[in-house]
Structures are given as C-alpha cells and as structure tokens.
C-alpha cells in the first residue's frame, strides 16, 4: 500500500477512535489518580509517542497515576475536549493553543512547554509551473483547516507579498481541507501547491514528485517557530503539581533521547503506527520528516505572539482585541510545582 493511502486509512481509524472514546491505559488500579493526555499520530508529536512507547512517562509518574492517551487528528477537537473536561494535557499546534487560551472562560488553557519547532513546508505540484511567489496568482493552494498554524502562515505570506485569497477579492484560491484530502487532490493534479506539516510535506515530495519551494522556518527569525506545544488545563495543572512536574521531567528526558537516537525513534514511531493505526510509513519518509523538525522543549515564545498577531490581522481572534497575558504557565513561580521538581 502506498504511503499516502496508508495514512488515509489510518486517519479513518483515528476518527473511529475519537467517536467511541478509545483510550490506551497505562496502569490498572481503580483508585489511582488519572492523567488524560491527547496527541496526534504524526511525527511532530514524537514526544508523547516515544515517551509512552518507551514507558518513560509511566515510570516517572509511578503506580499512583493512570495515564489515559487519546488520539485526535485536529487541534480544535482537542480544545473542545479540554473545555469539556475530558482531557487534562495535550500536544497541539500554536493556533489551537492560542484560540483555546483566548476562548476559554477563565483563560484556562495554558502552555506548559514546547514540543517541536519547524516542520512545515510549501510543496509545489510538478505541473504547477510555480517557481516563486510571483507565480501564485490564479493558482489553487491548499492548507489544513481555517485558523490552524499552516493556514495562518499561508495567508500571512500572501498578504506580505501583496496577494489576497479569492474570497477576499484576490486571485489566489485557498482551499482549507484536511491533509488526507490535500494528498488526494495533489495526486489528481487539482491543486498547484500546499502548505503542510510533516510528514505530509515529505510524502508529497517523495511519493508524488512535489517540489519543496521552501521550508517555513526559513521565513522566521533564527529559523525557529513553535509547531507543537504541550498545553494543559490550568485548574488541573495547579491541582496536580506532582503529576505535572513528573510529566514535564519525562517530557524533557524524551526530547533528549529522541535527539540522541533518531533511528530508534523511527523504529518506535513506525511500530506505534502499525500497532495503533494498522499502517506504517517508509523509513525514508520518517527519516526525512524527522530531520525537518527540531524536537525541543523550547516553546519559542516570540513565535506564539507572532502567530497571534497574524491570526488577529486575519480576523480569526474576534473584533474586541486580545491579550496573551498568562498564556505561558509560570512554572518558576509556582511553589507547588517547584517543590515537586
């Protein structure tokens, strides 16, 4: 089965998993504390995948805590689950993290740590004749859902280059569709380019002959921007300092292990995909996709403020202005968390 088709099948499994509330339990004692964790089955979320598969989180949290992991395929679904109090912490992109913070009743969604930087690219279809941004006019360009990180970056890039999307009176047709649908349209030659995260960017290049026009990080200061963050419900974080402290320690340990063991990371990730999704990716796709990411605890603070400013300029944050004061949970000044470090 080809790579893209494998992921298309896998996404269907994720949606079923979400619909029936499928969870993976670590620990079995009925009276334990429970930590409910959400993440995506993709390489940008390597920390929770590798950390759970290697039992790093389970070992550090101990027998007193049961870990429930829930797989999702979009940030907005994760945020809604946080609002519904069915998730405690989660790995998501900056767009959902910002929206979750601003739209929560008491600014209850907070950033705990970075998880990945970079890992998005603009991929050109081999028949598109796009060589530079000057060729974008009249083209059909795809990005995932409206308001997500790649969508914000694409629309900001158009604006910076004097272009507008078709619905805003411009000449560029922007299609907001899920990554599997982007793959399908790219296969059929029905889009000219796509702004997508890993591993989709590498899949479009390796499998469908796409050309990487640029890596998104090339557009950012120091070529760094947050692409995956660890967030949590502030109430849960404050009420469970020992669990959160142990999770953050495991999170950092896993970052270090991944960066020191890229080949083993690939094996673990592919085993996870096979066991949980029923399909895996090729070694070359995972190796290249992982190489295009920086797995890190750095949330790249300035990129969060930049994403918010860009989203606001696009009208995504409402009409009443916004403030990100308090979006980063202040672990250093939290006595309970410091006592458990």
Backbone angles phi, psi at 211, to 5 degrees: -110, 130
- Pairing of β 120-124 and β 211-215: antiparallel
pTM of the model: 0.87
C-beta of residue 114 within 8 angstroms of C-beta of residue 229: yes
Exposure string for 180-217, b = 16+ CB within 10 A, e = fewer: bbbbbbbbeeebbbbbbbbbbbbbbbbbbebeebebbb
| Model pLDDT for residues 65-75, shown as the tens digit of each residue | 999 999 988 88
Backbone angles phi, psi at 220, to 5 degrees: -110, 150
CA dist 193 and 209 (Å) reads 12
Q: Which domains does the chain have, with CATH numbers?
A: 3-118+224-339 (3.40.190.10), 121-223 (3.40.190.10)
Residues in the chain: 341
Residue-level pLDDT at 147: 86
Averaged confidence pLDDT in the chain: 88
Q: What is the CA radius of gyration of the chain?
A: 20
C-beta of residue 209 within 8 angstroms of C-beta of residue 72: no
The SS3 assignment for 328 reads strand
The answer, yes or no, to whether residue 271 has pLDDT greater than 60, is yes
The SS3 assignment for 88 reads coil
77 or 57: which carries more pLDDT confidence? 57
Residue range 269-279: mean pLDDT, rounded: 89
What are 68's strand-pairing partners? 25, 36
Residue range 198-223: mean pLDDT, rounded: 96
Smallest Cα–Cα separation from 156: which of 306, 307, 310? 310
Q: What pLDDT band is residue 17 in, cutting at 50, 70 and 90? A: very low
| Model pLDDT for residues 130-189, shown as the tens digit of each residue | 999 999 999 999 998 888 899 999 999 999 999 999 999 999 999 999 999 999 999 999
CA dist 244 and 337 (Å) reads 8
Share of the chain above pLDDT 70, in %: 88
Backbone angles phi, psi at 190, to 5 degrees: -95, 0
C-beta of residue 34 within 8 angstroms of C-beta of residue 68: yes
Residue-level pLDDT at 9: 40
| Model pLDDT for residues 170-186, shown as the tens digit of each residue | 999 999 999 999 999 99
């Amino acid at each position: 089965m080809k790579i893209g088709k494998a992921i298309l099948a896998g996404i269907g499994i994720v949606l079923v998993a979400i619909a029936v509330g499928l969870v993976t339990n670590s620990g079995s004692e009925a009276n334990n504390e429970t930590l409910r964790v959400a993440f995506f089955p993709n390489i940008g979320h390597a920390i929770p995948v590798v950390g759970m598969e290697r039992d790093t989180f389970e070992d550090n949290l101990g027998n007193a805590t049961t870990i429930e992991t829930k797989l999702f395929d979009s940030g907005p679904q994760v945020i809604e689950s946080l609002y519904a109090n069915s998730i405690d912490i989660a790995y998501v992109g900056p767009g959902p993290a910002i929206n979750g913070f601003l739209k929560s009743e008491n600014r209850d969604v907070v950033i705990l740590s970075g998880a990945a930087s970079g890992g998005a690219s603009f991929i050109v279809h081999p028949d598109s004749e796009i060589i530079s941004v000057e060729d974008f006019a009249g083209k059909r360009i795809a990005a995932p859902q409206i308001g997500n990180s790649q969508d914000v970056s694409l629309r900001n890039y158009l604006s910076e280059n004097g272009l507008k999307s078709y619905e805003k009176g411009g000449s560029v047709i922007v299609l907001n569709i899920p990554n599997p649908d982007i793959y399908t349209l790219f296969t059929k030659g029905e889009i000219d380019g796509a702004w997508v995260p890993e591993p989709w960017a590498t899949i479009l290049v390796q499998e469908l002959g796409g050309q990487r026009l640029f890596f998104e990080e090339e557009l950012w200061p120091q070529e760094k921007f947050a692409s995956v963050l660890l967030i949590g419900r502030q109430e849960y974080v404050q009420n469970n300092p020992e669990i959160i402290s142990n999770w953050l320690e495991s999170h950092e340990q896993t970052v270090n292990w991944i960066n020191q063991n890229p080949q083993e990371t690939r094996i673990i990730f592919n085993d996870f995909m096979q066991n949980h999704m029923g399909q895996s990716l090729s070694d070359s796709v995972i190796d290249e996709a992982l190489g295009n990411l920086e797995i890190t605890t750095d949330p790249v603070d300035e990129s969060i403020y930049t994403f918010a400013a860009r989203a606001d300029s696009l009208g995504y944050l409402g009409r009443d202005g916004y403030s990100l004061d308090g979006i980063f949970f202040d672990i250093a000044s939290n006595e309970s968390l410091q006592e458990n470090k």
